[in-house]
Amino acid sequence: MIQKNLKSIQSQLPEEVLLVAVSKTKSKEMIAEAYKAGQRDFGENRPLELREKAETLPSDIRWHMIGHLQRNKVRDIIDKVYLIHSVDSVGLLDVIERRAAKAGVNVKVLLQVHIAQEEHKFGFEEANIIRFFKEEKAQDYPHVSIEGLMGMATFTEDESQLRKEFSTLKKLRDKILELNTVNQQEFRIISMGMSGDYSIAIEEGSTMVRVGSSIFGTR
Ligand SMILES: *Cc1c(COP(=O)(O)O)cnc(C)c1O
């Protein structure tokens, strides 16, 4: 079933959109099945779970941290993670820089932007993120590559609301590129779209979708 689901989703994705299979709470056996079908990018939201899976599953898997990350958990994943999607504060970015320098690695990250109507979702507000780049702060992190933005839309079936939120993120990415204070080759990723809304996200400019339940079943 997992392999069939993966094929069906892959066939709907344009070539330039990367599928991150969200494997949080799912067993290693299920991940191994997706791996056999050629899937290499997997998303987790708990640092220790990511670490434990990374230590036992094939080493060419690229592990994505997609959930809220506490500062004191950064060191658990720093040498295991391929891309941290959920950097939601400058303080967290500072910790990632420090830990990466200490571990002698370079870490790729996305900045999470608060695009949903719901208050409880994490992320930078748009004005703060623009200020961050205007002040050329991205250059203060020699061990961190800021590769783009991530967003989570409101949990709703209202398609026009979803489109509005996704296009906000895409426009923000373009606005930041125009400021010319980031590496233009590096700052390209727009991580948006989950099981319920990835087709809409792609139409609105997503380059990376994070899909869990449509691949592995409900949690
Ligand atoms: C769980 C999760 C997903 C995947 O959700 P599904 O609805 O199962 O596809 C995507 N992004 C984040 C940040 C998540 O926590």
Pocket test for ligand 1, best of 5, 22, 83, 195 (most atoms within 8 A of CB): 22
Supply the residue whose CA is at minimum distance from atom 6 of ligand 1.
Answer: 212
- Helix H segments across the chain? 2-10, 28-36, 47-56, 74-77, 90-103, 126-134, 159-179, 198-203, 213-216
Q: What is the pLDDT of residue 208?
A: 98
CB 87 within 8 A of CB 96: yes
Name residue 43's beta-bridge partners.
Answer: 22, 64
Cα 66 to Cα 63: distance, rounded to the nearest angstrom:
9
Quote the CA–CA distance of 65 and 53 in Å, as a whole number: 12
User: Ligand 1: which of 18, 194, 208 to mutate, judged by most atoms within 8 Å of the beta carbon?
Assistant: 194
pLDDT per position as a tens digit, 28-72: 999 999 999 999 999 999 999 999 999 999 999 999 999 999 999
User: What number does the ligand 1 atom closest to the CA of 219 have?
Assistant: 8
Q: Does ligand 1 have an atom closer than 6 angstroms to the CB of 213?
A: yes
Mean pLDDT for the stretch of residues 90-97: 98
45 lines ligand 1 (CB under 6 A): yes
Predicted structure pTM score: 0.97
Structure confidence by residue, pLDDT tens digits, 116-169: 998 877 899 999 999 999 999 999 999 999 999 999 999 999 999 999 999 999
Is the beta carbon of 112 within 6 A of some atom in ligand 1?
no
Average pLDDT taken over every residue of the chain: 96
The reply to whether ligand 1 has any atom less than 6 angstroms from the CB of 211 is yes
SS3 146: strand
Apex 19 CA angle, 16 and 22, nearest 5: 160
Q: Could you give the dihedral angle defined by the CA atoms of residues 3, 68, 49 and 141, in that order, rounded to the nearest 10 degrees?
A: 100
